[in-house]
């Protein structure tokens, strides 16, 4: 029999976070804990469908005026407008001056991909694959892949995490921006930096913006946790709004997976802020061409849920309350884990656990300690030492804290 025409295709390595979940599922140990996957869990360790989402889904199901016709290529207009509005704020000068646009996308990843594809084709010259793209060290692993797959050839890193002080390396970050070639693209986490959970303060963001403006660097924000990080939509959007107020043209990829719990509906938006209406319309016309050959038309269900919620004052208030419920549980788990580690006298400092923000904490555990946690304790976390705070519950906190204590004490 002739060999397959695909015989030379190598097997790709599995995606780490999904492999971790698969390993967790196959583990028969009753003590097992999954601190890997990036999704919210209740104190019972279960996924949570937001009450406001259940309510809106019912409203959509009962609305006989709705059908399954194609949406416009750029997406549901009321979704795009409302998504951009919560990113930029009701009183945004860019919205008032009609110099913003949105592209509904398949999650935050889709928004990043459409933005990356556009920048490669039309930014800093035509099809300039040599424009440097800077990604924080560390960052969400998909950032690198999205820009590589969009055709960029010069992916660089910028300093972000200071392992010694377990916090932001602001000076290293600013130095890298000073040295970056003009017109370089910088991927910035709008809030709840993944994986470190460490964000610049407003004063630090101002320093970052000042350097980026002087050096003509392009800000591409990734906003995956608005509202989820601090419990406040406005606080979590502060950086994006400040950059807009400083006159930047920018992109902001938004995901509604976490803050609406709509993980499998793939609801995202790419907010475009330009100098004027004409510039934004021309950018959107090119993005429409990219979308047409990528997914052609976006799906409606998740976008309708978000649009309906954001455009009704009553539902909007209910949603903000649901988001705060999630954010508060994460904050509680942070303080509980830190207090247990400190009570056990675990070597090192643990204040970074409560100083970090959002779903993830960068524990500072090294790869050998992580391996010990997985193999000996059946606690699943990323090799980087990143844990999902939502995987902690009142039932497993003691076990996890004692296991971390053991790993740090026994394994150097």
Residues acting as catalytic residues: 140, 222, 258
CA-wise closest residue to 221 among 259, 253, 266: 253
Q: Extract the tokens encoding 55.
A: 């309510």
Contact of 225 with 191, CB cutoff 8 Å: yes
Q: Alpha-carbon distance 150 to 117, whole Å? A: 5
Helix (H, G, I), strand (E, B) or coil at 186: strand
Whose tokens are 């209910």? That residue is 318
Q: Alpha-carbon distance 184 to 131, whole Å? A: 6
Helix (H, G, I), strand (E, B) or coil at 61: helix
Size of the chain, expressed as the number of residues it contains: 412
How is the chain split among helix, strand and coil, in percent rounded to 5? 50, 15, 40
Q: Alpha-carbon distance 357 to 151, whole Å? A: 33
Q: Which residues neighbour 73 within 8 Å (Cβ) at sequence distance 6 or greater?
A: 288, 291, 292, 296, 297
Contact of 50 with 263, CB cutoff 8 Å: no
Report the 10 Å Cβ neighbour count for 183.
15
Q: Alpha-carbon distance 303 to 309, whole Å? A: 10
Q: Extract the tokens encoding 348.
A: 């090192």
Q: Which residues neighbour 232 within 8 Å (Cβ) at sequence distance 6 or greater?
A: none
């Amino acid at each position: 029999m002739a060999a397959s025409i695909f015989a030379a295709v190598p097997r790709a390595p599995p995606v780490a976070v999904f492999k971790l979940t698969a390993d967790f599922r196959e583990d028969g140990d009753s003590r097992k804990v999954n601190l890997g996957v990036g999704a919210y869990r209740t104190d019972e360790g279960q996924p949570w469908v937001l009450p406001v989402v259940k309510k809106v889904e019912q409203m959509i199901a009962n609305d006989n005026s709705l059908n399954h016709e194609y949406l416009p290529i750029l997406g549901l207009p009321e979704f795009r407008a409302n998504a951009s509005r919560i990113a930029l704020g009701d009183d945004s000068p860019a919205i008032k001056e009609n110099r913003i646009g949105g592209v509904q996308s398949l999650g935050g990843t889709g928004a990043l991909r459409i933005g990356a594809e556009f920048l490669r084709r039309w930014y800093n010259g035509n099809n300039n694959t040599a424009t440097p793209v800077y990604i924080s060290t560390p960052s969400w692993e998909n950032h690198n892949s999205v820009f590589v797959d969009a055709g960029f050839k010069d992916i660089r890193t910028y300093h972000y995490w200071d392992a010694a002080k377990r916090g932001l390396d602001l000076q290293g970050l600013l130095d890298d921006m000073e040295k970056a070639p003009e017109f370089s693209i910088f991927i910035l986490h709008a809030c709840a930096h993944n994986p470190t959970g460490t964000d610049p303060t407003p004063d630090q963001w101002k320093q970052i913006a000042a350097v980026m403006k002087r050096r003509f660097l392009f800000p591409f924000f990734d906003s995956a946790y608005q509202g989820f990080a601090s419990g406040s939509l406005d606080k979590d959007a502060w950086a994006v709004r400040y950059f807009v107020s400083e006159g930047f043209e920018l992109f902001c990829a938004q995901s509604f997976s976490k803050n609406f719990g709509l993980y499998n509906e793939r609801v995202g938006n790419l907010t475009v802020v330009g100098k004027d209406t004409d510039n934004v319309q021309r950018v959107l016309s090119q993005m429409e061409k990219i979308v047409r050959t990528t997914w052609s038309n976006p799906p409606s269900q998740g976008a309708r849920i978000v649009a309906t919620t954001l455009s009704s004052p009553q539902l909007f208030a209910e949603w903000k309350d649901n988001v705060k419920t999630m954010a508060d549980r994460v904050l509680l788990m942070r303080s509980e884990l830190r207090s247990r580690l400190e009570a056990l006298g675990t070597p090192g400092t643990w204040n970074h656990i409560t100083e970090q923000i959002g779903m993830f904490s960068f524990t500072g555990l090294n790869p050998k300690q992580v391996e010990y946690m997985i193999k000996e304790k059946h606690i699943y976390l990323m090799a980087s030492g990143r844990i999902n705070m939502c995987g902690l519950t009142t039932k497993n906190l003691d076990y996890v804290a004692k296991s971390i204590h053991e790993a740090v004490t026994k394994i150097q």
